[in-house]
Amino acid sequence: MRLFPALAAVALLPLLGGCVIYSNEGGEKVSVMSDRVAVETETLEAVRKVDFDGQRLNVVVGSNGCTEASSFEVKINDGDPAELSLTRRTPDLCRAIVREGVTVSWTYAELGLTPGAAVRVLNPISL
């Protein structure tokens, strides 16, 4: 007899994946559903410095010693100017903190950009 409530609770767990239920002191329950768009939105890497020289994009980012250009996915939205965003794909799990950060770099050709093209970087800046 006691097995049924336990099985019912286990069966309902997948349905509660995007739901958080809070109970305040008055006993009222408040449900908060995660916004699907917000969950799918990726966090952009905070950058310390961005430099375009007409041929290359050079970006200084935080590092624990193992960050390289291949650690990032670069997305470009066509426009005038083109909009560029960097998303870290490989976490830097090393332990040699590089206080000044590291420079990662891509040529305009690698990014599919025309040399000298105007580009706007969407990532936040961290000083």
pLDDT, residue 26, reads 44
Q: What is the pLDDT of residues 67-108, one digit of tens each?
A: 999 999 999 998 889 999 999 999 999 999 899 999 999 999
Provide the whole-model pTM: 0.65
* Cα separation, 58 vs 124, whole angstroms: 15
For 111, counting Cβ atoms within 10 Å of its Cβ (0-12 exposed, 13-18 middle, 19+ buried), the class is middle
Residue 60 has pLDDT above 80, yes or no: yes
Strands 119-121 and 72-77: unpaired
